[in-house]
Amino acid sequence: GNAVRLQAIKDVEAYVPPAVSFTAGETPGEVFGANVFSKAVMQKRLPKSVYRSVIATIDHAAPLDPLVADAVASAMKDWAMEKGATHYAHVFYPLTGLTAEKHDSFLEPAGDGSALAEFAGKTLTQGEPDASSFPSGGLRNTFEARGYTGWDVTSPAYVLESPNGNTLCIPTVFVSMNGDALDHKTPLLRSQQSMARHAERVLRLFGHATPDAVVSYCGAEQEYFLVDRHFFLGRPDLLNAGRTLFGAKPPKGQEFDDHYFGAIPERVLGYMLDTERELFKLGIPAKTRHNEVAPGQFEIAPMFERANVAADHQQLLMTTFKRIAQKHGMECLFHEKPFEGINGSGKHVNFSLGNATEGNLLLPGDTPHENAQFLVFCAAVIRAVHRYGGLLRASVASASNDHRLGANEAPPAIISIFLGDQLADVFDQVAKGGATSSKEKGTLMIGVDTLPVLPTDPGDRNRTSPFAFTGNRFEFRAPGSMQSVAGPMVTLNTIMAEALDHIATELETAVAAGTEFNAAVQKLLEEIITDHGAVVFNGDGYSEDWQVEAAARGLPDLRTTLDALPELISESAMELFSTYEVFSHREMHSRYEIGLEHYALSVGVEARLTLEIGTTSVLPAAVRHQTEVAQNLAALKAAGVDPDLSVLAEVSVPLAELRTALSALRTALAGDAGTSALEEARHAQDALLPAMAAVRAAADALEGVVADDLWPLPTYQEMLFVL
């Protein structure tokens, strides 16, 4: 009640944050990777042949030699125990979006009453957690609860420190007993493999006879909010749903734009230092930090890494941020829209691909020959995003991200590509036959060999585009802050595999038929930009004109999760994912089902919370206020003063609306939601969401009327501006 809220304000004022951080004499360089079973550690501790074999798998995608497991396990265990680890855990990424761990002790009874520290190769490579509590979307029969975890050599093991003991953590895939993927990592590894195969075919055509293994890179910019824990605990909605279901707009919001790149409050700076130190120990290259647009909002962007490692690190980053925030008396919110009327949080996924010898394949480069190669990879992105924009949209679909996409703060739900003036111009010229004049240098250029050299850093920036070229990478801006980056990366890898396969096949065929290579490239680029150029849009993605134009161009506008999810089971998607051996049809259906279930579940929780908070907190506060006003009016009347009855109406009108809305919500919750996942999700969208909105509208109106000392919930002002 209100007492809790007022006490929270006092407690926040009295709070003294813990001291941080890098201890005297300790440098970030010493800390970095200290708890990682890195290549350097392996080189020191593994027999040479074992080390070489492991590196061949990590760096050159060679199949894992099962014979190395025992040696690696033994070295890993010794190293981890020196770091104080008593347990090990297979860490996996189920489709809840969270991180799961199965802990076991190194100690095994020796039969004579003593115990030995054991860690065999087979324990490293395979685990068998109970899978029954994780979503499977129908892949697992209820009587078959088993799931398997399998060691992912390409993502390094690490020791996680905790006051309750240290644990050796081993990143793993998580599959059913038939080998169906139950997690985010399995498809990421499969898609990486397919993309690499076809990227290497393209590289061979460009004269790299034995190209190094191509990998996709991901750099994720993570936005988040920090809220004092006293306030957080006073908000059952934040606690249980991760977002506020009530709360009037504060008198001062983000209108002044004074938070972006503003000074970071001392307390937050201390928190950032502390998290950075923890991330460094885990080998996570945390780099930039600044305030975001909204008050209380911040961002961290670790340096990009191989997508699979970046995805694991991203998950680890989120759990670390949550944990350290609590230590600093704060709560870290990853929800896409914790506060209505205030910018939400995204997780921009910066995407590129490359290998050890060629470097970044999306770098424009400075010789015409390399430019042709660059343009081909760029064209692959254009084809991929045009053909499968709906799938990209589906890869970021969730109930929480729906609050963000298309809200004129995040990119619209229409997936288009921003190329920037320079690159757009080059592709325009390509489309016109390749005879081009370079605007900048004013010289006439003909053919692919002589396409203009692009500057690495185009001057213009477009923040309204969901998919933007930013000089040496594409930035996918639609992913939500709470999501795993694995989903979008799986989609990107797979649609790139298809585009690169198409390109390689076309060029191989043309060359075999005797066409000169450069001419074949020019023809291919021309075809791609002609067939798929409709996805390129360099204008304002927030404008209404764009919605009209996008429709005319045939680009899908999948506004909500329920509009987007069916993309997963479209014929073209099923064919795509099975052709490139990323998902079987069964697995696609399961992802679709899980998406629907998750949607219905989260909206359901929010609806029940809205009903509860509205009924037990907001309504009583408003009634008390109404009683006080009524008593005041009666007293005035008794004293012979003619009372102003509008004061009573001010509270009574929204109060009556609240009662009506609560009863409608109760009815909607009790109503028939159907039985299939689709029906339940539809019910959530069509019946629950509007009913919740009506409750909120009445409650927020009351917040502006009811006496402050009676108001039960910490306000937006308190949560956003007090840190």
**Binding residues for ligand ADP (CB under 6 A):** 217, 219, 221, 288, 301-304, 350-352, 360, 472-473, 475
* Nearest distance in Å: CB 328, ligand ADP: 23
| Token pair 């996709």 in the structure block, residue | 216
Segment interacting with Mg ion, rule: CB under 5 A, options 39-47, 308-316, 343-351, 648-656? 343-351
Q: How far is the CB of 418 from Mg ion (least distance, A)?
A: 12
**CA 242 to mean position of chain CA atoms:** 15
CB atoms within 10 A of CB 339: 26
CB of 656 to Mg ion, least distance (A): 46
Q: How far is the CB of 458 from ligand ADP (least distance, A)?
A: 12
Of ligand ADP, Mg ion, none, which one does residue 473 interact with (CB within 5 to 8 Å by kind)? ligand ADP
Beta strands at 417-418 and 467-469: parallel, antiparallel or unpaired: parallel
In whole angstroms, how close is the CB of 209 to Mg ion at the nearest point? 37
Nearer to Mg ion, 348 or 598 (CB): 348
Amino acid at 371: N
Of the pair 221, 593, the CB lying nearest ligand ADP is at 221
Residue with structure tokens 């004049």? 437
- Region near Mg ion per CB under 5 A, out of 66-74, 92-100, 257-265, 344-352: 344-352
Q: Concatenate the DSSP letters of all residues of 165-190 into one string.
A: -EEEEEEEEEEETT--B-BSHHHHHH
Kindly state the smallest distance separating residue 507's Cβ from ligand ADP, in Å: 24
Contact code string over 610-649 relative to Mg ion, x by CB under 5 A? ----------------------------------------
Residues 18-77 that bind Mg ion (CB under 5 A): none
Looking only at residues 215 through 234 of this chain, which bind Mg ion when binding is defined by CB under 5 A? 221
Mark 433-459 as b/e (b = at least 16 C-beta within 10 Å): ebebebeeeeeebebbebbbbbeeebe
Considering the complex, state which of residue 192 and residue 350 has its C-beta at the smaller distance from ligand ADP: 350
Q: Which residue has the tokens 């081909």?
A: 376
Q: Whose CA is closest to 472, among 452, 457, 491?
A: 457
Q: Which helix (H) or strand (E) covers residue 437, if one does?
A: strand 435-437
Shorter beta-carbon distance to ligand ADP: residue 221 or 237? 221
Q: Is the Cβ of residue 219 or residue 338 nearer to ligand ADP in the bound state?
A: 219
- What does 304 interact with, of ligand ADP, Mg ion, none (CB < 5 to 8 A by kind)? ligand ADP
Nearer to ligand ADP, 307 or 723 (CB): 307
CB of 292 to ligand ADP, least distance (A): 10
219 binds, among ligand ADP, Mg ion, none (CB under 5 to 8 A by kind): ligand ADP
User: And the tokens for 283?
Assistant: 């080998």
Distance of CA 620 to the CA centre of its chain: 39
Q: 3-class DSSP state for residue 327?
A: helix
Q: Closer CB to ligand ADP, residue 367 or residue 456?
A: 456
Closer to ligand ADP at the Cβ: 457 or 516? 457
Nearer to ligand ADP, 234 or 364 (CB): 364
Q: Which is nearer to Mg ion, 183 or 305 (CB)?
A: 305
* Nearest to 289, CA basis, from 313, 261, 259, 265: 261
Angle at 168 between CA 163 and CA 173, to 5 degrees: 125
HSE-CB at 251 with a 13 A cutoff on CA atoms is 1
- In 3-state terms, what secondary structure has residue 296? coil
CB of 285 to ligand ADP, least distance (A): 8
Binding partner selected for residue 402 from ligand ADP, Mg ion, none, CB under the kind-specific 5 to 8 Å limit: none
Residue type, 396: V
Q: From ligand ADP, Mg ion, none, which one binds at residue 537 (CB under 5 to 8 Å depending on kind)? A: none
| 3-state DSSP of 303-325 | CCEEHHHHHHHHHHHHHHHHHHH
Listed residue (654, 649, 669, 646) closest to 699, CA to CA: 654
d(CA 709, CA 647): 18
Helix (H, G, I), strand (E, B) or coil at 301: strand
Nearest to 496 by CA among 214, 205, 200, 195: 195
Instruction: Tell the smallest beta-carbon distance from residue 464 to Mg ion (Å).
Output: 12
Give me the least distance between CB of 477 and ligand ADP, in Å please. Answer: 9
Q: Are strands 330-333 and 467-469 parallel, antiparallel or unpaired?
A: unpaired
From 77, 235, 313, 348, residue interacting with Mg ion (rule: CB under 5 A): 348
CB 475 → Mg ion: shortest distance, Å?
5
**Residue 630 C-beta: closest distance to ligand ADP, Å:** 54
Residue nearest to Mg ion (CB): 348
Q: Could you tell me the sign of the dihedral formed by the alpha carbons of 595, 600, 603, 608, in that order?
A: negative
Residue 278 beta carbon to ligand ADP: minimum distance, rounded to whole angstroms: 18
Q: For residue 176, is the peptide bond before it cis, meaning its omega torsion is within 30 degrees of 0?
A: no
The whole-angstrom separation of Cα 469 and Cα 472 is 7
Three-state SS for 678? helix
Distance between CA atoms of residues 723 and 719, nearest Å: 8
Beta-ladder partners of 224:
298
Question: Which of 150, 219 has the CB closer to ligand ADP?
Answer: 219
> Per CB under 5 A, which of residues 162..221 are in contact with Mg ion?
221
Amino acid at 537: F
Question: Of 477 and 532, which has the nearer Cβ to ligand ADP?
Answer: 477
Distant-in-sequence, close-in-space partners of 429: CB < 8 Å, separation ≥ 6: 435, 436, 437, 451
Partner touching 301 among ligand ADP, Mg ion, none, CB below 5 to 8 Å by kind: ligand ADP
The CB-of-146 to ligand ADP minimum distance in angstroms stands at 37
Closer to Mg ion at the Cβ: 221 or 593? 221
Q: Which residue is nearest to ligand ADP (CB)?
A: 219
How many residues belong to the site for Mg ion (CB under 5 A)? 2
CB 123 within 8 Å of CB 71: no
Q: How near is the Cβ of 417 to ligand ADP at its closest, in Å?
A: 16
Q: CA-CA distance, 662 to 227, in Å (whole number)?
A: 28
One-letter identity of residue 16:
V
Nearer to Mg ion, 221 or 567 (CB): 221
Between 470 and 717, name the residue whose CB sits nearer to ligand ADP. 470
The tokens for 373 are 């190669």
Bridge partners (DSSP) of residue 655 are none
d(C-alpha 84, C-alpha 516), whole Å: 63
By a kind-dependent CB cut-off of 5 to 8 A, residue 217 interacts, out of Mg ion, ligand ADP, none, with: ligand ADP
Q: What DSSP line would sit under 125-156, residue for residue?
A: HEE--B-TTS--TTSS-TT--BEEEEE-TTS-
Looking at beta carbons only, is 91 or 485 nearer to ligand ADP?
Answer: 485
**How far out from the chain centre does Cα 442 lie?**
44
- Please state the closest distance from residue 222 (CB atom) to ligand ADP, in A: 9
Interface residues toward Mg ion, by CB under 5 A: 221, 348
